[in-house]
Amino acid sequence: MQTLKVKIADLAVLRERGILLTVGLGSCVGIALHDAENKVGGLAHILLSCSCQFENRANSFNPAKFADTAIPLLVEEMEKQGGKRSRMRAKIAGGSQLFSYRQSNGVSIGERNIEAVRQTLKKLEIPIRGEDVGGNYGRTMRFFVETGKVVISTVGKGEKEL
């Protein structure tokens, strides 16, 4: 079976079968979208919550880096492959806080990322059907496009199916 690796600040779409894989989610969040009827699956690996503070600073703009721009783009790419937004369901993982200190305002980058992912999915009216978020450990995400199954693996904390 084909395995397609999604790197940090990247996204990919597969049809029918195959595995979308993203490795080493820390404060980053992986978003798996699935249209079960047409068997279209997409996976994004976002780094930060909002493009708003950065659009002018970056020397080139990569929408896959941010929750608010990556998810709409992922939906669009899935629609090109025959997916339909109203049928899409989401599973999300990551957004942890690996290091022991908090940000000065009390909200970690991971928490902010999760919140932005939830908001963006809500805006797009895509329900979340499974999640493994927060905590203080990293995750690897395997998304089986045919069935919509997502398997999360960790270092020393075992595996989990969403």
Partner 1 sequence: MKKRRLSREKFDVLKELANIGVGNALTSLSKMLNEEKVEMEVPEADLAPLQDIPDLLGGAELPVAGIYIESHGDIGLTILFVLSLDSAYKLISALLPDSQGELDEMGRSVLLEVGNILTGSYLNAFSIMTDSRMLPSPPKIAVDMSGAIISTVIAEARIVDDEVVILKTSLNSQQSNISGHILILPDRGSLKKIFTLLGVR
Question: Amino acid letter at 44?
Answer: A
Catalytic residue among 11, 13, 19, 28: 28
Give the one residue of 101, 125, 127, 158 binding partner 1; rule: CB under 8 A. Answer: 101
Name residues contacting partner 1, limited to 119-138 (CB under 8 A): 136-138
In the complex, the smallest distance separating the C-beta of residue 116 from partner 1, rounded to whole angstroms, is 12
Name residues contacting partner 1, limited to 37-96 (CB under 8 A): 47-48, 54, 57-60, 62, 65, 96
Residue closer to partner 1 (CB basis): 36 or 107: 107
Q: Helix, strand or coil for residue 125?
A: coil
Phi-psi region of 106 (alpha: psi -120 to 50; beta: other; left: phi over 0): left
Report which of 151, 135, 130 is spatially closest to residue 22, judged by C-alpha positions: 151
Told to judge if 52 belongs to the known catalytic residues of this protein, a careful annotator would answer: no
Report which of 11, 29, 6, 27 is spatially closest to residue 142, judged by C-alpha positions: 6
Strand-pair partners of 89: 34
In the complex, the smallest distance separating the C-beta of residue 38 from partner 1, rounded to whole angstroms, is 29
- CA 94 – CA 110 distance, rounded (Å): 7
Any idea which residues carry the catalytic annotation?
28
Residues that bind partner 1 (CB under 8 A): 7-10, 23-28, 47-48, 54, 57-60, 62, 65, 96, 98-101, 109-110, 113, 136-140, 155-156
